[in-house]
Amino acid sequence: MNVMKNKTQRIWFAGFTGLALLVDAASIPAYSATKSQPDAVKAVGSAKDLSTAFRFAADKVLPSVVTIENRPAIDWKTDGSDDPNDDSAPQRDNPFKGTPFEHLFPDSGQGFRYQGPRSPQGDQAGGMGSGVIIDHSGLIMTNNHVVAGGGEVIVRLSDGREFKAANVWTDPKTDIAVVNIEGADNLTAATVGNSDSVEIGDWVLALGQPFGLESTVTAGIISAKHRGIGITDRENFLQTDAAINPGNSGGPLVNLNGEVVGINTAISSRSGGNDGIGFAVPINLAKWVASQLASDGTVHRAYLGVGIQPVTAQLAEQFHVRPREGVVVTDVYPDTPAAKAGLQSGDVIVDFAGEQVATPQELQVVVERSELGKPSQLTVVREGKPMKLSFVAEEQPNSFGLNRDRSRDGLTKPRPSRLHSLGLEISPLDPAVADNLGMKGVSGVVITAVRDGSPAEQAGLSSGMVITEINRKSVTSVEDAQKVLGGQTMKDGVLLLVRTENGSRFVALKP
């Protein structure tokens, strides 16, 4: 009912605006139309010039755009043990029942149940996406999520020819994949551009086969750069309002010169379709990944071994730097290049190997492309003072960043305590609780409740987070937390280091 009402309102307002324009136009003297005619001709000429530029770019790239069909080879089947409605499946009592953590783990007594990608008829799941030819030998760039699954990958060229992929190499960290087809002649490879030269406001075209509609071209602009949206480990997306819909994934984003500047990857949408917010992997990053996939079948990337977060206005005041000046180190993992370089939690990295960094995405890009084994310098701000550290690049292990298994044995029943000034309720963090929160070996206090409207709630804190530092002092017990906050007012703010199973971040609380 509300939906129909809203639709009616939108149509009505549009009609009202059209009526107003019609009345205004009718009241304008005839000589005004004659007077504005040269301007109108000039405007039409400019529009035609833009249309010509669109046609040039589309004609240049469309022969390089392909359709990719992923036909999984696995026949997904199920039996009663996979049915979530099967009451005969074994159940276990929740080991957290009766403790302050029961509401954090409401399903801890239930075993995990596999839900495979199967249709109601039991047919194999499949998917379609797009890709772009980057080499005349038959190399095609697309997204990892388009070809993942280990099934049969079919490539259909713009002229209708179909080929089965001979090789498929993927990099889930960036969602980039390379597909190789053999025996195809007269292939048209796209021209690869330079995504570092792209600016906000530049015109771009998105090409692909949304909803199976092949050779579709949409236009828009670059809306933002260096976006991180939390869908891959390595993110430095270009944001665009060019229409991107399901099926566009893996297709090219091109400039008006017909050069590929990005690989369309994701959308932000409430409806599942285009809402004017699309994201593409910058072609410079995609090219760096694709070249290694094609030559080695894998990607070799350097790493620091830290947890990081951006410098917000609230954190900048606490760390004595300007907003967006560098990135804050939240964790330093043992036996990593960062630990060997002497980095500490709370350091603000402002420069890496001579390149200034303002966002986590920028730091990740320059670090992972570092030459392995080569020493570099990084500049940090520590307690308000700049200092230089020496760093030697090492290759990131495949196991780095994986969460540890959780255990649910040996739970104790801690007594919660309140930090009234912050609006928090906390409890001791014993080993069993730490394991179940995915933070084995972490010391601190766990948040068990957050008061509505409190500084803690406004800062985004929630139950299950672990506080490891307050005002840069380590806390390992409720008593530690109360001691650090003793006599502390909210006037100057409170700086917390909080941890989840995904890592740590600093949070500045103010009234």
Asked if residue 138 lies in contact with residue 181, where contact means CB atoms within 8 angstroms, the answer is: yes
Cα distance between residue 353 and residue 484, in whole Å: 37
Cα distance between residue 336 and residue 338, in whole Å: 5
Tokens 């990295």, residue located: 349
Tell me which residue of 383, 317, 323, 332 sits closest to 359, measured CA to CA.
323
Cα distance between residue 467 and residue 460, in whole Å: 13
Residue 297: in which H helix or E strand, if any?
Answer: none
Asked if residue 64 lies in contact with residue 189, where contact means CB atoms within 8 angstroms, the answer is: yes
Residue 504 CA: distances (Å) to CA of 333, 346, 468: 11, 11, 9
Cα distance between residue 394 and residue 173, in whole Å: 17
- Positions annotated as catalytic residues are 145, 175, 249
How many other C-beta atoms can be found within 10 angstroms of the C-beta atom of residue 237? Answer: 23
Q: Which two tokens stand for residue 338?
A: 């960062």
Residue 125 CA: distances (Å) to CA of 153, 179, 251, 277: 13, 20, 21, 27
